[in-house]
Amino acid sequence: MERIARKAVQQSSKLIDIRERYRETLKDKARAAALLDDLMMNPFITVLRAQKSLRVSNPTARKTVELLIKRGIIAPLGDRRWGKVYVSKEILEAIEQK
């Protein structure tokens, strides 16, 4: 039980560190920073999900996703042309840490 609790604390600490580092990277981009909380809950995102979360147009959501890619926070998953899914590998690895 104690081992599980320690592991949970380590995982939480790692996720907080990631979030704070990303927030610093995005301090000049409010929309992109707003998507961080979504990524912390679910490290997979689409332009449509970003659009709904931010309550912005599709082109604005697309630009925000592209910024997250440029800043190294997310990367495309697979090679689909439409309905692309992006993932924050660092967040995913922290969540899946065993």
Tokens of 31: 């929309």
- Residue found under tokens 């995982």: 11
Given phi > 0 = left and psi -120 to 50 = alpha, else beta, which region is 30?
A: alpha
Are 97 and 14 in contact, with CB atoms under 8 Å apart?
A: yes
76 has pLDDT over 80: yes
The mean predicted confidence, pLDDT, of the chain is: 92
Q: Read off the tokens for 36.
A: 């961080």
**What's the pLDDT band for 2 if we cut at 50, 70, 90?**
confident
